[in-house]
Each structure stands twice: as C-alpha cells, then as structure tokens.
Structure 1
Amino acid sequence: MEFKPPISDRATDELIRIANFPDKWNPLAVEQAKKELLIRNVPVNYVNNKGAVLNRYDKKKKVIAAKRRAKEAFEWHDFIFDFHHVLLEMLCDWDMKKDGYITKHRQRKYTLTIISILILIVYISSNFIK
C-alpha cells in the first residue's frame, strides 16, 4: 500500500511518532515506519525515548485542556443572546462536574436555586393575593 506522502519521504520525527503510537495509525504505515527507521539506522532506544517525550507532551496537553474546561463559564451575554442553548445545557446536562466543567456546574447550581426561590416566591405571593 502506498501512502501520501510516502513513508520513506517523511521526517524521522514523524516516523518515530508513527512507530510509537500504532493505535493512531494504519498498521501498514506503522510497519513501514519501523522498517524505514531501521534503514535510517535510528536506534531502538532513541525511538522509545522519543515516544516517552511525546507521551509526556500528550499528557501535559490533556492536563491543560482539563484546566481550561474547569474554568469555562457561562457569560452574561450567553443568557441574553443564546438563552435557549444555555437553558437546555443547564436543564439537560447533568454530567457537567463529571465532564470537568466545574465552574459551569457551580453556576448551574446557583442559577437553578435562584430560579426555584423566585418560583416559590411567586407561588406564595399569588396565594396571598387571592
């Protein structure tokens, strides 16, 4: 099978990435990348070391994404211009905290509490008016 660009034309760093992360690549590409690394006399320990560096990079990227998700919040203009979306997200997405959206979860909790109190006040006041 021929890949575009061909495996033999790719940079050594890319071949190392392909060889170290076989679950993300076509098995034939992984096999060809390993053969090409042998042809280029890239030692096995160098390939593994590079994979460890790439693994640390991927882990750091996931940590940064998780921190960004935790700080993501509803903005005041979301309630005005995108109310339907915010309302659906607040009422239907019960896994916000589990998914890592800590600030959105807290905002939803406070918003739903305030709305419940307002509904209760309106209900009680309507009973006193009668």
Structure 2
Amino acid sequence: MTDFKPPISERETEELIGIAHSSTKQWQQEAISQAKKELVRRNITEQQQREVLEKWEKEYQEWITKEKERLENNKTESYKIWEMILMFIFGPILIIRPYLLHSYTLFNLRGENYYLKFKQRIIIFSLSFISWFVFISYSTEQSNKKRLEEIDKIDISDWKEKHGYD
C-alpha cells in the first residue's frame, strides 16, 4: 500500500471526492481506491458526492462565463493617452523590454483578446520607429554639416604655401 503525503485519510472530504472522481491521468489508481474507501469510511453518500461535483461544475461554468465576458470586454479596451505617449517616446526600448511599463507583449495582447490595444501598439511602435529613424538621420546629417563647416573655416593658406600648392 502506497503512502501519500499527506495521507489520504487526513485529507478533507471535498479533496477526497475530487480524487475519487478523477482519472488515472491525475492520480494513481491506488490513490483513487484509497479515496473511495475513505469516503465510505466517513459515510459520504453518492448523493453528497454528486452535490459537491455539481457545485464544482456550477462554479466552473460561472468562471467560464466571467472569463468570456472579460475576453469580450478586452476587445475594445484602449490605451490611455499617457500610455500612448510613453510608448511613442520609448518604442524601440519597449520592443526589446516590454515589461518596463508593466504591459503585455504583442503576443500576450493577442492571447488576452486585446484587439484594439494590439492594433494601437503596432501603429504607435511603427510611428515611433519612423520618428526615431528620422530624428537620428537628421541629427547625423546636421552633425556632419557642422563638422564640414568647421573644416571649411580652418585657414590652411600657410600650409598651402609651405607645401607649394599656391
């Protein structure tokens, strides 16, 4: 006889009912048999067991209903303006580290049925990347222009005379 921890005889009645009515995928056959024997020893009738199982089924159906409602509500949930601004400013960083703002990744948004947020995030990140690219390109171009202007301002006439270019 296998000893389970905690022992089957010390478990609560509802847990025993769950074990007794489970399959061998969740529990070993010996645990199921011990749970059934313990239920008989505690004088728990089949009717009482069915009532507990029906209660669990009802709770499960209520949970399923609430989960469907939650997922349906997620479809139209939108980001707040301040969240959109932060995503726009820090877009490239948030692609690499999405949890910096305690937000979902793109894959999680789809999995949690946030269709509007998913579309908003893709648009905001695209605009963010384009803006950052334009900003960096413009900054680099201006920096190069400034460097070339400084080079042009340098007087090299003495050098030209010294080396025979004039």
Which TM class, normalised by the smaller chain length? 0.5 to 0.7
Where does residue 12 of structure 1 map in the other structure?
13
Amino acid at match of 1:18: I
Amino acid at match of 2:5: K
Query: How far apart are the structure 1 equivalents of 2:53 and 2:28?
Result: 17
Per the normalisation by structure 1, the TM-score is: 0.62
Deviation track 1:48-74 (CA, whole Å, cap 9, x = no partner) reads 221111122233334445555664877
Where does residue 40 of structure 2 map in the other structure?
38
Cα distance, 1:115–1:43 mapped onto 2, change above 3 Å = closer
2:8 touches 2:31 (CA, 8 Å); kept in 1? yes
C-alpha displacement of 1:117: 5.9
Where does residue 86 of structure 1 map in the other structure?
98
Superposed CA RMSD: 3.9
Cα distance, 1:115–1:50 mapped onto 2, change above 3 Å = closer
Amino acid at match of 1:9: E
1:15 touches 1:37 (CA, 8 Å); kept in 2? yes
Of 55, 58, 64, which aligns to 1:56?
Answer: 58
Per the normalisation by structure 2, the TM-score is: 0.51
Cα distance, 1:111–1:46 mapped onto 2, change above 3 Å = same
Cα distance, 1:42–1:14 mapped onto 2, change above 3 Å = same
Structure 1 or 2: larger helix share?
1
Deviation track 1:55-112 (CA, whole Å, cap 9, x = no partner) reads 22233334445555664877739845x712339933xx2881xx3x223x31121232
Q: Which has the larger radius of gyration?
A: 2
> What is the percentage of aligned positions where both structures have the same residue?
26
C-alpha displacement of 1:113: 2.9
- Deviating runs (4+, > 6 A) in structure 1? 72-75
1:62-101 counterparts in 2 under 5 A? 62-65=64-67, 67-68=69-70, 71=74, 76=83, 79=87, 83=94, 84-86=96-98, 89-90=105-106, 93=107, 96=110, 99=111, 101=112
2:17 touches 2:35 (CA, 8 Å); kept in 1? yes
Structure 2: unaligned runs, 5 residues or longer: 138-166
Where does residue 143 of structure 2 map in the other structure?
none
Query: How far apart are the structure 1 equivalents of 2:6 and 2:21?
Result: 19
Aligned residues between the structures: 116
Answering whether residue 104 of structure 2 is matched by residue 102 of structure 1, we say: no
